[in-house]
A and B are shown apart, each in its own frame.
Chain A
């Protein structure tokens, strides 16, 4: 019930509602009454006012009329004008009163009266009065009387009478009205009184009802409380109310119920207590009963068992007959002695401690004990000791009860032994089984030998044993040092084998060795047992020997062991067969897996039985493991989708696997996108005893063959093209010469062209053949010791006369001894130099650079020519791999030079490479192994300059005899100088401007145009080079005296090379000492 509901149903609220409604009713009806009475009174007073007004008007009318007639009579009697005037005024007044009257609310009678009056007035005013006036004027009184006789006076009197009557009537009406209003007021008072009584009555009823609804349940509640107090059951209807009383009811109800519940519970507890009391009484009686029983039992116990009583200190105070009977001690011998009289042989002192502990804590101890009787026999007793406690919980005595179980015990022991025996037999059987299992499932010889020996040892308790598989020399050993076994295996064991051949089994009895003897004081004998495992052909497969110390072998055991050996024979043969099969299988697998071809064997139903490693690699398929079958859908789709020719491969598989296909078939397909793998696959149907069992597919990677084929055909096409171009020229110009007449100049030009082209053709053929020979490995290399510097200088010598290019050598190699085919290296150098010259048409210099790096000599040929696009450098070493553009085409060449060079260099343990920047130039380098790399560099004074590569001192040699040049440079290089070779004076001068030289060695006899003197002059005339020391090296005697002054040293050929180097050393020393170079001319 919600609070809102509670509030709605609350008594307070209801009471308040009733009071409020009654109050509202009284207010409402009072107001209505008041308004109604007010209304009635106002209408009554209004009516009264109207009535009074009317009466007043009638009164006025009567007085005015009287006035008129009074004045008229006055006038007629007095004939006074004043009276006439007043008459007129009275007439006017009458007129006003009449009009006022006519405006009032009038009844029909009154209207009529009004009309008559008005008509009379009009008549009087317009007719009678003028006539009367005229009559007065005329003093005709007769006339006047006649006139008044005519009725006018009568009507006036009637009118007056009427007014009088009317006044009286009006007064009466007013009186009636007053009476009515008083009566009405009385009525209202009555009604109000009645109404009040009704309201009071209603209120009383409501209050009474509320009280009733309140008091009734309270009364009932009172009754219930009384009945609850009286302890009777409270039966209260559920009140359907939700007000305060209802809630009180509910709370009371709950209270009553809980009180009742509690009461019931108490009752139950009470009953239980009663029951417990009964039970206690029952127990007591039973206790007494059992006490008597115990007494009788004690008697029985005394008869059947040994009983003793000990004090808490363990001294016997009582012993029955049985106790002395069992122990053979007399009673008197027991009583007064401690328990130590009986020794328990099956308990140690620690066990005893535990027993005491248990007893001291009040526990009963019971166990089987063995003790020694007085006569020395061993007794088995079932002994129980019960401690007795006094009220303080302290032990005051022990009771000891014992039964003789000696006979039972011996039976038990017998039984246990039988059981043990059975257990052993069972174990043996299990071992036997184990052996059977092991030897039938073991496929490894060593494992077999170990297991077999282990079994034998367990089964026959050998102290040491040895099992040898004769053929594989596999041994299993127990209790014998390995060294001994090895010695036996290495040395001839033929003696034993020979004897075993004759005698399948034999045994030896011998004196035990020291170790076998152990601690035994007496002599111990050992028994060795030898036996063999032989196959059906009586070949010895294995040998078994075992020793037992001190135990011989029974005939039964020997028979058993021989049986064992037969079983071993079967197992060993089986292992041999397995190994053979396994070996064959492994061999097959290795063959199949190591073959380059991918092999796939597919069953007739499409299942793949076998796939080898090579095929897995081809198809990137690694789902297969040996022994699993792969369903057709799994492998076939993968293979087909992997290949680029899916449709063809699908068709090929379908056809090859079809049962109707009897012949082998093949196809080619490719795999991959960027690097195509070309595969040739052939299928062979496989039959076993006339039945088709499947199809063998062999996939062969023919990418190399395919590419070679492609390359070969490309090469053929390129070669034919390369040959056809010069041939076209030769044939064409020849034909023109033959068919036309032309000027001799033109003929010469044609012939020159023909010659050039034919030469080109020859070169091409030669180069091509060279390369073919080299590549096929037929080229012979005559390796000899040579100086690479010398070779380079020699080749450079051939270019000395070149008009366009100057070849410059910078020689930094300390060691340039190499073992090469000199001619071939010359071919390479010539090739590279001519390339450098050809491909740098706008430059005039080619630089050759020699230096050592690790154990190699490196030659770099550097030009500043056209250069090579980065992406094409790689293809340069291929045949016809020259850069394919118009510029290079103009330059010409066979396109085989670099390929040949690479071949030559690589055949002589060298490497070759190209560095190039397009538009800036190209450097081709090659390196060859240096012969004297391991030699220490010469320790020399000047070597300190030579150690740092960048700080080497530069010396230029301008000499056109290359052998001399070489000689000098070897000497100078040995001293750590970097030597630059030049043979052209002008270019030497230009070089001198670029590089700081410590000195320049000049030969006087140089070219035809300029000689050494010219160079010296040029150098001395230029401010940039004038300070460089110059050494002249010449065959001539000094002639030009002028120039001699600027020359540092004049060496006349021939001179020992040491002279030049010592001169240079001197120069360097001077420079180092003073910081400047001294010249003779300066002195």
Chain B
């Protein structure tokens, strides 16, 4: 970690944030009319677009359908212009497949799939600009898209990353902080119950620091859930004004 100071002596990070501060989150729902549900979310400079189709009949072979619940099919892809250097393979590579699988596992925990046996729900997420926290932005955007589609869920799913620098946990890492070589933990949380839908970390971390890191990530997720909540309520008010009953 030569040269780049992820946390200064006064406690400021590279982009001027304090350690537990989140980036600015802006989101919009119902951006597409053709899809059942859609949402656009910006978390700092990371921009993600999520589209939901369903529930509908299982496409392709019927053997993929489950007799008692719906199958959730996720596809994660990055736009070729999303990274600093043009991406050659936007989807189909191993990282995208792994992300798609993680998204699928996350939403199978939150969506009430038993209400739709023998059907399929499709979630497509595309990263338009990648600046760290790709998985988190995808999960947050997909949550809004699912709420927009009217698919019953137990709770919001909020995701955030957390890192560890000089005994201090950092919340919501940007790309430079993630690739700095330090620890990076991604957490997807159902905020009201505090249940963890997905926890992922690929770096080395001492066992003693794990609890503080998970705590920091959970606090960040709960803060994010408040933002998503206000976006949903605002959208509901706007829609009801247009279709006044």
The answer to whether A binds B is no
A residues bordering B, Cβ < 8 Å?
none
B residues bordering A, Cβ < 8 Å?
none
